[in-house]
Structure formats: C-alpha cells, structure tokens
Amino acid sequence: MKPILLGDSIFIRLFNCFPYHFDSISEQFCVSGQTILELKALVKERRELLIGQTVILMIGTNDFKSSVSNHNSKINIKSLIKLLSRLCSLITCEVPPYASESLSSPRNKSINDFNNFIHSMANITRILRTSSVFICDGKIYVKLFCQLYSSSMRVDLVHPNEEGLVGILNFILSAV
C-alpha cells in the first residue's frame, strides 16, 4: 500500500515528480496555498479515505507566509496531528526554512520553533527531520530551492527544487 501525502504545494511538487511512490489520493489532500486549518477541514470532510492508511504530513509553510501567529500554528498543528493519529499511521515532516531569509530571521526562527514543537508530539506521530536536508553548517543550502516561480520572474526560494525534493523523498522512503 502506497502512502498518502497531505500538505501544500511542496507535496504537490513531490507527488508530481515521483507519483509512483504515493497513492493517487494524495492529489485530493495537497493544495497549493493551503494552511493547517484548511487541511484540517479537508481531512474532516474526507476522513474515510485516510482510515487505516499510512499518511505523510507536511504543512505550515503557508501559515508562516501569512499572518497566522506561531502560537496559533502550534495549536492548529497539534489539533490536526491528534485528529490524524486517530485515523491512520501518521508520519510528520518538518517544514523547510525560507531560503530567501537567513536562519536567524524571525520567520525562520518561528519555523524552527514550530518544528521543535512538532517533535513534542512524537508519542502520537513519527517525526522526520526533513528540514535538515536544507541546512548545512548553520546556513540554508539555497541550491536546493527553486530560484524563480515558474509562472513569473519573481524570486521563489520557498519551494524545494527537484534535488531538494529527492532529499525529502529519501527521508520518507526510509520511514515507510
């Protein structure tokens, strides 16, 4: 049985690059721009698809992009992880840093704090240290991120490129 991905555009890209590793149901749960609360609503609506399945979760990138506070992001992820842990075998991935900013930026400090918070739930979900793919010697490995959005000339540096996605995929494959 192939695992199901739940997340945002990072997991859409992962699924599109490596569809043979994941259940096609993933397409129903990975939505570009999706926040933690939006994913939780989707899970509640389609929970029957997840019962007894292996589920890989990575969500939160868009919460840090928007005005959701770190405190509320933690409350929301805890609630989502608790819900999913009652339905399926859950593996949770850390959120990667924003490569457009230094690791010491307020946003990346919040992401690091969020990822540390996820680890506090290791009793109900397996945690993958996927953010470590993107950090080397205390710096963000910018080479693993898309430089520009494909549809415009705007700087991206949020979405992992194919090499970065391979790093995430390797973590997932070692866990399932």
Segment 107-126, tens digit of pLDDT: 999 999 999 999 999 999 99
Q: Which CATH number goes with the domain that contains 170? A: 3.40.50.1110
**Domain tally for the chain?**
1
Question: What pLDDT digit, counting tens, does each position of 48-79 carry?
Answer: 999 999 999 999 999 988 878 889 999 999 99
CA nearest 101: which of 164, 154, 157, 159?
Answer: 157
Cα 105 to Cα 7, 68, 111, 135: the distances in Å are 24, 17, 10, 14
Residue-range definition of the domain harbouring residue 40: 4-175
